[in-house]
Amino acid sequence: MRYLVAIPVFNEQAYLPRVLASVRRYTRDILVIDDGSTDNTPRLLDRERGLLRITHPENRGYGQSLIDAFALADRLGYDWVITLDCDEQHEPAQIPEFVARAACGAADIISGSRYLVPRPDDDPAPPDRRRINLTVNNLLGQLLGLWLTDSFCGFKAHRVAALRRLTLDEPGYAFPLQFWVQCVRAGLRIVEIPVRRIYRDTRREFGGTLDDPAARLQHYLAVLVRELRREPSVVAGLPRLARQACSLTD
């Protein structure tokens, strides 16, 4: 089983060297997607050896970074892509847990959850992020029958062959809303495994209007509605709540 660890990066000069050093303990197959960084990140990457690297000339978004990583992994013949963030919110020491679960062959998407099994050393989540996560978890459960405990964790393992069944094009932070709808629609097998909840910097921002929690949730819901509407026959078969959601923008 060949797996690639993909790390989306945007202005992560403070964390990048430590994250890469830690990931290298578990694999040599590392891809960094530099999403138009304007700090010292590109120069730090120039010093790294043995990395695969995608460079966006401008900031294209977190979702687009993942989409590009999936495409490259497919072209290079990898079986799995493991994604993790570069802000030390995810512990590379848990990579072997994802690999072991992937090797069992019983799942297509293995998603980390910061809430599945509470740990005494977990950091408290910023209240607005926890509220939005809970709201989206409940919507996905009621609309799609997909009951997750953490719909926004970026620490995941993805079976490359399963990703070919998806048509992903959401470039920004609302990517998970499209991703989960398409995974359910494609019948992918989804499991969660516990990961530690870490917040090194609770002041980190999304940028623009998304820094306002209400605007961020509204944007996420708009992407969810748009994705549900892509296939009206699917919407017709969903519970009444889904049809109500799709009518929000009528």
pLDDT of residue 223 exceeding 80: yes
Q: Which domain covers residue 53, as residue numbers?
A: 3-126+147-205
Among 215, 224, 230, 214, residue whose Cα is nearest residue 245:
224
* Residue 57: burial class (beta carbons within 10 Å; 0-12, 13-18, 19+): exposed
pTM of the model as a whole: 0.90
Report whether 183 contacts 189 (CB < 8 A). no
* Beta-carbon count within 10 A of 28 CB: 9
What pLDDT does residue 149 have?
97
Backbone φ and ψ for 85, nearest 5 degrees, come out as -85, 165
Look at residue 194 and give its three-state secondary structure.
Answer: strand
Is 137 within a domain? Answer: no
Is 223 within a domain? Answer: no
Angle between helices 213-229 and 127-144 (to 10 degrees): 20
Pairing assessment for the beta strands 80-83 and 3-9 based on DSSP bridges? parallel
Backbone φ and ψ for 210, nearest 5 degrees, come out as -70, -10
pLDDT of residue 246 exceeding 60: no
Is 108 within a domain? Answer: yes
Is 245 within a domain? Answer: no
In angstroms, how far is the first alpha carbon of the chain from the final one?
A: 47
- Beta strands (DSSP E) in 75-118 are 80-83, 109-113
CA dist 114 and 54 (Å) reads: 28
Is 233 within a domain? Answer: no
Is 227 within a domain? Answer: no
Is 142 within a domain? Answer: no
Among 113, 116, 99, residue whose Cα is nearest residue 23:
99
> What is the tally of structural domains in the chain?
1
Among 239, 11, 35, residue whose Cα is nearest residue 143:
239
In this prediction, residue 231 has a pLDDT band, given cuts at 50, 70 and 90, of: low
Is 139 within a domain? Answer: no
Look at residue 134 and give its three-state secondary structure.
Answer: helix
DSSP one-letter code for 53: E
Q: Write the CATH number for 168.
A: 3.90.550.10
Percent of the chain past pLDDT 90, that is, above it, reads 80
pLDDT of residue 248 exceeding 50: no
Instruction: Enter the tokens of residue 105.
Output: 């062959």
